[in-house]
């Protein structure tokens, strides 16, 4: 992580409300952070907006793909006249306008062509629109070099977030234990008198340790099978939703790995057939019932919906800000949003806290 930088008067004025919220030291850490954001579809736009407004040092947007008409549904940083041009380059102007004090650059190269040294320029890497093999490669590079790693994507009504922070220290405010006091001179207990007073807090230093994991099939399979076993023992009757969400994420990973792309609106009918086949294949592989994920699931995972991007992008942006500023405890490292049900799952995968 880059060293803390001095906050100028102009920055203090711009970030005044944030500094009051999380403190000057946290803002200085944000001001020193360099972030790489891979993928500038709808989710990438939400993440870019959130972290640029927070006041980081620099943001590099990496995307080698072209703007499509479908982007108008969720990518608000792209002019509609830029169809056919590079996504990262076309997102540059509006992203920079969000906060002129942040250095914003665009890279139109392919993430697969970037070597390890490229990623070590950054304090945080957030990978969206990447397949599982690519995510594992980038996660390993980040873990080996002490870089905070985040991943996320949105498929229609569904979206997920994963993080690997390594050994991460953070500061958390907790209520201060009141000192024992004698009764006051009027006979009233001192504790009763202080009920109307603002509770005092103290800042304590804590640590969370996350381990790099395989974010593809083997991890999902191991976790899902554990939940199935718990169900048989009637110990976790509420975990059925978690199986649904974990397996839904597995569908997307398998589709991207097998076909090298995401489900597309222009090939909707063919992709529904592919997803239906993957559903049956995955159910059999994970040894779970066919009713675990509903048959109409495949009709809800096309394009990117703005509300889903906003939810997942809000979580991603929030967690990046917390990690960079070392302020407050990070969430568990896996989040899945189900827009059909309007529910979110937060889980802890391959992690231990201390």
Model pTM? 0.79
- At residue 313, the pLDDT reads 96
- d(C-alpha 327, C-alpha 239), whole Å: 31
Instruction: Walk me through the domains of the chain, giving residue ranges and CATH numbers.
Output: 9-167+306-346 (3.40.50.720), 169-206 (no CATH), 217-300 (no CATH)
169-to-70, 151, 196, 222, 233 alpha-carbon distances in Å: 41, 20, 34, 29, 37
Q: Digits of tens for pLDDT over the chain (354 positions)?
A: 555 567 787 888 888 888 888 888 888 898 999 999 999 999 999 999 999 999 999 999 999 999 998 888 889 999 989 999 999 999 999 999 999 999 999 999 999 999 999 999 999 999 999 888 888 899 999 999 999 999 999 988 889 898 988 877 777 666 666 655 555 555 555 555 555 555 555 455 555 555 555 544 444 444 444 444 543 443 333 333 444 566 667 778 888 888 888 888 888 888 888 888 887 787 777 666 656 666 777 778 888 899 999 999 999 999 999 999 888 888 888 888 888 888 888 877 654 444
- Torsion of Cα atoms, 230 then 232 then 234 then 238, to 10°: 60
> How big is the CA angle at 210 (ends 204 and 215), to the nearest 5 degrees?
150
Q: Which residues fall within 8 angstroms of residue 126, CB to CB, at 6 or more apart?
A: 35, 36, 37, 38, 47, 150, 151, 152, 316, 320
């Amino acid at each position: 992580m880059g060293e803390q930088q001095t906050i100028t008067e102009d920055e203090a004025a711009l970030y005044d409300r944030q500094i009051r919220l999380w403190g000057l030291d946290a803002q200085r850490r944000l001001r020193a952070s360099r972030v790489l954001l891979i993928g500038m579809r709808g989710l990438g736009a939400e993440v870019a907006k959130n972290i640029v407004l927070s006041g980081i040092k620099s943001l590099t947007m990496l995307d080698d793909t072209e703007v499509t008409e479908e982007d108008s549904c969720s990518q608000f940083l792209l002019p509609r006249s830029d169809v056919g041009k590079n996504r990262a380059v076309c997102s540059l102007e509006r992203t920079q306008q969000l906060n002129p004090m942040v250095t914003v650059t665009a890279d139109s190269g392919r993430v697969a062509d970037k070597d390890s040294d490229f990623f070590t320029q950054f304090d945080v890497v957030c990978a969206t629109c990447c397949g599982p093999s690519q995510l594992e490669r980038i996660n390993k590079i980040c873990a080996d070099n002490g870089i905070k790693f985040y991943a996320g994507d949105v498929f229609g009504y569904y979206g997920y977030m994963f993080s690997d922070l390594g050994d991460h220290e953070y500061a958390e405010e907790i209520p201060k234990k009141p000192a024992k006091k004698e009764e006051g001179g009027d006979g009233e207990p001192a504790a009763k008198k202080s009920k109307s007073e603002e509770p005092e807090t103290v800042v304590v230093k804590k640590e969370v340790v996350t381990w790099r994991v395989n974010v593809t099939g083997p991890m999902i399979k191991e976790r899902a099978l554990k939940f199935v076993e718990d169900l048989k023992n009637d110990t976790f009757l509420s975990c059925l939703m978690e199986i649904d969400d974990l397996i839904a994420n597995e569908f997307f990973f398998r589709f991207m790995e097998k076909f090298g792309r995401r489900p597309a609106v222009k090939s909707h009918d063919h992709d529904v057939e592919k997803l239906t086949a993957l559903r049956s294949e995955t159910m059999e592989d994970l040894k779970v019932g066919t009713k675990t994920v509903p048959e109409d699931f495949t009709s809800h995972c096309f394009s990117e919906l703005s509300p889903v991007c906003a939810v997942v992008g809000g979580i991603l942006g929030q967690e990046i800000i917390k990690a960079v500023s070392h302020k407050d405890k990070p969430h568990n490292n896996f989040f899945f949003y189900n827009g059909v049900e309007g529910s979110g799952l937060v889980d802890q995968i391959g992690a231990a806290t201390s």
